[in-house]
A = this chain, B = another copy of it.
Amino acid sequence: MSLFAGIDIGGGSIKGILTDPKGNVMHETREPTDSQFSNDGFIAAVKKVAANLLAKGKAEAIGIGSPGPLDVDQGLVLHSTNLPNLKNTPLVKSIRDEFNIPVYLNNDANCAALGEYYFGGNTGVNSLVALTLGTGLGGGWVYQGKLFSGMNGNAMEAGHLTIVKDGALCGCGKKGCAESYFSAVGLMNRYFDKTGKKPDNVKELFDLCRDNNTDAREVLFFGADILAELIKNIIHLINPDKVVMVGGITASYDLFGPYVENRVKELVFPVFAEKVTVAMGNNVAGAYGAAALAIQEEK
């Protein structure tokens, strides 16, 4: 069976797997991420991960998932919040020239959607949307087995749909985006607006909710309402069969997930309430999503 390499660029490490299309993993490896990586140092680390994988078997292609902003078409990491010394890093060309196999790059939200599709038990789903609920709010759409990548990988910027006209200021500079209400940063900022206190991290906010703190719960459920409206908007536009939520925040899915699922059913047209599944995803690891990118490109 054909093998594919998947490499996930993370803040702590660069992780790689060598897998067949069913997710039978032949080899796993990782290299530490150095926040001071230069372009060359970064490329060398990714090459090392790839070399380790390819030493264990012949891969058809390599998929790489990375935080943006990227130029997917040109295969560049334009810059990176976690790796401030990177600039227009020619990642795809460097790896392709070294190993002489196809190399594909896409952002981590798109790879997450592909991971949920191929390795999260969703290959039977004709149209799957994954929403990544983490520091920010992202999304990816797998339609008929292929990533809908949009313009240079920019499709499904779900966090930057306006839900509250003239609402809270978003990190993108505009007002009322979904991300400014339901993401780690958004939830903490809204809690600050309400109380003047900023939690150290979003887990602290969820802990307050579990302790029935009124302010924390109001912020969370207002955010959950926004998330439900966002999912309604996505459903009304592109009619996915299934929407899954993944990412760090889903560790607290029990607090908000069932509420969001029910609220979406109330908001959408009856045909969608009946036919569209909204659920927590499997939080398939990023390297699997990156491998899935290679798999779907080579199909």
Known: A151-B272, A152-B271. Contact between A237 and B161, CB under 8 A? yes
A225 at interface, CB cutoff 8 A: yes
In the complex, A165 Cα to B271 Cα: how many Å? 22
In this assembly, does A292 line the interface, its C-beta being within 8 Å of a C-beta of chain B?
Answer: no
Complex interface: chain B residues within 8 A of A148 (CB): 238
Q: Which of A37-45, A48-56, A194-202, A228-236 contacts B (4 or more CB under 8 A)?
A: A228-236
Query: Cβ of A26 < 8 Å from any Cβ of B?
Result: no
Closest to A276 in B: B151
| Chain A residues within 8 Å of chain B by Cβ, number | 35
B residues less than 8 Å from A234 (CB atoms): 237
Kindly state the separation between the CA atoms of A165 and B172 in the bound complex, as whole angstroms: 20
Which of A's residues lie within 8 Å of B, judged by CB?
Answer: 148, 150-152, 154-158, 160-165, 167, 172, 174, 176, 225-226, 229, 232-234, 236-239, 241, 267, 269, 271-272, 275
Q: In the complex, which residue of chain B has the Cβ closest to the Cβ of A162?
A: B229
Contacts of A163 in B (CB 8 A): 162-163, 165
Name 8 extra pairs, CB < 8 A, besides A158-B237, A165-B225, A165-B226. A148-B238, A151-B271, A154-B239, A155-B238, A158-B236, A160-B236, A233-B233, A234-B237
A236 to B137, CA, bound (A): 13
A269-B239 in contact given A162-B163, A162-B232, A229-B162 (Cβ < 8 Å): no
Chain B contacts for A238, CB-based, 8 A: 148, 150, 155-156, 237-238
- Docked pose: A275 CA to B272 CA in angstroms: 32
6 nearest CB pairs, A to B: A150-B239, A151-B239, A157-B236, A162-B229, A161-B233, A164-B165
B residues within 8 A CB of A232?
161-162
Q: Closest residue of chain B to A230, judged by CB?
A: B162
Which chain B residue shows the least CB distance to A233?
B161
